[in-house]
Amino acid sequence: METASQNTCFGGIQGVHTHASTTCDCDMTFGLFLPAEAQDGPVPVLWYLSGLTCTHENAMVKAGAQGWAAEQGIALVFPDTSPRGDDVANDDAFDLGQGAGFYVNATQNPWVPHFRMWDYVADELPAVLAENFPLDMDRQAITGHSMGGHGALTLAMSLPGRFRSVSAFAPICNPTGGDWGRKQFAAYLGEDESTWAPYDSSLLMAERGFDGPVLVDTGTSDQFMELLRPETLAGAMAARRQEGMFRMQKGYDHSYFFMSTFMEDHVAFHAEALHAG
């Protein structure tokens, strides 16, 4: 693992690190914010999964999360959203290929060799983090934005016991039912839609739910509302009596201006779960 940069930030360190990923068969870069408390011992971890077109960097510089994480003594992990490189398959569309991994393991060519973001985020990167940094991997939580909200929700529900809490900003809630999902799942997973279901948070919510608190925020002026399909997840959460909050925030859109506004709430929500017991 190589450290590309380190900046002092809110009393802690915002680092950027690169490692040779065996899962994605390419170099992968991630951001890691360590609060000052990490100098004295392992700290809890909040994962932040980003949306379409983003790298590890966008949320790291625009979401305004470090200040709140510093206040709570929590580390932040910012993974990339796909494998990258000249040898990695891509597509001209912004919503397929590099920058658009959708947190799935591809089973179809040309995506198979590298596009294994589910395994990368679920298995390889946690191992890299545990080995190299003072992180308490028994205290993990996860959040994300848009495609990353979809990733956070599906990972949290599919890995029971891994995350104490899950939240999402404007998540893609029902990818098997909308054009942010059907297009990508057909490409990455093939035409058999039964293979798509494990990657749909509304279906997972209906089937199993999450053993912990859930927080979802979406702006009422989100320009991608038809693609996000929040009503499916809200309905599934209510039908299951899922512990949690589903909020529609008046006037907010899909941007980082929306996300940064509610970041304090989300970090505090996760901190309560991470610091408990």
Site string for a second copy, 184-223 (x = CB under 8 A): -----------------------------------x-x--
Q: Which residues are catalytic?
A: 146, 222, 254
Q: Cα torsion for 135, 154, 164, 224, to the nearest 10°? A: 90
- Report yes or no: 77 and 31 within 8 Å, Cβ to Cβ: yes
Q: Measured from the CB of residue 47, what is the shortest distance to a second copy in angstroms?
A: 20
Cα 43 from Cα 157, distance rounded (Å): 23
Determine the 3-state secondary structure of 33 from DSSP: strand
Q: Is 9 in the site for a second copy (CB under 8 A)?
A: yes
Nearer to a second copy, 241 or 250 (CB): 250
Among 3, 7, 22, 39, indicate the residue that binds a second copy (CB under 8 A).
7
Q: Is 161 in the site for a second copy (CB under 8 A)?
A: no
Q: Is 66 in the site for a second copy (CB under 8 A)?
A: yes
Stretch that binds a second copy, among 46-54, 75-83, 201-209, 257-265 (CB under 8 A): 257-265
Site string for a second copy, 105-144 (x = CB under 8 A): ----------------------------------------
Q: Which two tokens stand for residue 145?
A: 């934005």
Cα 259 from Cα 157, distance rounded (Å): 22
Q: Is 19 in the site for a second copy (CB under 8 A)?
A: no
Cα 156 from Cα 171, distance rounded (Å): 13
Among 19, 62, 162, 240, indicate the residue that binds a second copy (CB under 8 A).
62
Q: Cα torsion for 247, 95, 125, 132, to the nearest 10°? A: -90
Among 130, 178, 183, 256, indicate the residue that binds a second copy (CB under 8 A).
256
Nearer to a second copy, 62 or 183 (CB): 62
Cα 49 from Cα 121, distance rounded (Å): 9
* Residues with Cβ within 8 Å of residue 164, at least 6 apart in sequence: 139, 140, 141, 212, 270, 273, 274, 276
* Residues with Cβ within 8 Å of residue 277, at least 6 apart in sequence: none
Q: Which residues bind a second copy (CB under 8 A)?
A: 7-11, 14, 61-62, 64, 66-67, 219, 221, 250-253, 255-258, 260-261, 264
